[in-house]
Amino acid sequence: MIMSIVETKNISKVYNPDIVPVHALRDVSIKIEKGEFTSIVGPSGSGKTTLLNMIGGLDKPTSGTVLINGKNITEMKDRALTEFRLQNIGFVFQHYNLIPVFTAHENVSFIMLLQNKSKKEIEKRADELLDAVGLGERKHTRPAQLSGGQQQRVAVARALASEPAFILADEPTANLDTSAAMNLLDIMEKMNKEQDITFVFSTHDQRVIDRARRVITMVDGKIHSDETQS
């Protein structure tokens, strides 16, 4: 039997339970398989970002279980969870979150330094990833000298640097114009098809939704529909 990369089992999340309870997620169960290119969509407040945060181990559910490659991350202590995220999950955020004093190459290299990889391996992989996102010639450039689209491509390269099981992308195109967004999506879609890299997006951007092969729609903290697109 093939194990899912991600599986959530009846997860719920309630914020402010003792004051004014806010039910962000209600009994959500999904499975993500290797090689998927999936968008989690829905209006603001639907729970899509909360679900992404649960899958990424950035927050813990009030009840239910999150399994990553069969491991229950909801039971992990903070230090163990931080190490697990470092080794298994890549993140791409709406606001890039690059380190401003680092060059593109240093931003991509940083996570591999945390993984204690060799200098030679770090140099080689950072170069390869920046070439893959079309920024090999800008590797010594700091984020402030890059466009928004270029910064987000560095963020994708950084997310891939740790060789994660999958990439979580939270509104990755929200701050990009159409040309930059399409270029970024072309890169991620190519990586997905050619290298079988798994991408899970949280988005309201129709440009992303149109590219996704699976669309999970959330409403009021619940899964409203789960459809595979041709």
Q: Is 203 exposed, middle or buried (0-12, 13-18, 19+ CB in 10 A)?
A: buried
Q: What is the pLDDT of residues 54-86, one digit of tens each?
A: 999 999 999 999 999 999 999 999 999 999 999
The domain total for the chain is: 1
Tokens of 49: 């970002």
The three-state DSSP-derived secondary structure of the chain is CCCCCEEEEEEEEEECCCCCCEEEEEEEEEEECCCCEEEEECCCCCCHHHHHHHHCCCCCCCEEEEEECCEEHHHCCHHHHHHHHHHHEEEECCCCCCCCCCCHHHHHHHHHHHCCCCHHHHHHHHHHHHHHCCCHHHCCCCHHHCCHHHHHHHHHHHHHHCCCCEEEEECCCCCCCHHHHHHHHHHHHHHHHHHCCCEEEECCCHHHHHHCCEEEEEECCEEEEEEECC
Question: The whole model's pTM is what?
Answer: 0.92
Length, in residues, of the chain: 230
Domain of residue 115 covers 6-228
CATH number at residue 166: 3.40.50.300
The verdict on residue 54 lying in a domain is: yes
Rounded (5°) CA angle 51-198-174? 60
Q: What is d(CA 95, CA 97) in angstroms, rounded to the nearest whole number?
A: 6
Q: What is the pLDDT of residues 20-46, one digit of tens each?
A: 888 999 999 999 999 999 999 999 889
The verdict on residue 13 lying in a domain is: yes
The verdict on residue 37 lying in a domain is: yes
The verdict on residue 178 lying in a domain is: yes
The verdict on residue 1 lying in a domain is: no
* Mean pLDDT in residue range 150-169: 94
| Edge-to-edge strand list for the sheet holding 71-72 | 22-32, 6-15, 63-68, 71-72
Tokens of 77: 């202590």
- Residue 149 has a pLDDT of 92
Give yes or no for residue 1 having a pLDDT over 90. Answer: no
The verdict on residue 56 lying in a domain is: yes
Q: What is the pLDDT of residues 89-128, one digit of tens each?
A: 999 988 888 999 999 999 999 999 999 999 999 999 999 9
The verdict on residue 217 lying in a domain is: yes
- Residue 229 has a pLDDT of 79
Q: What is d(CA 117, CA 125) in angstroms, rounded to the nearest whole number?
A: 10
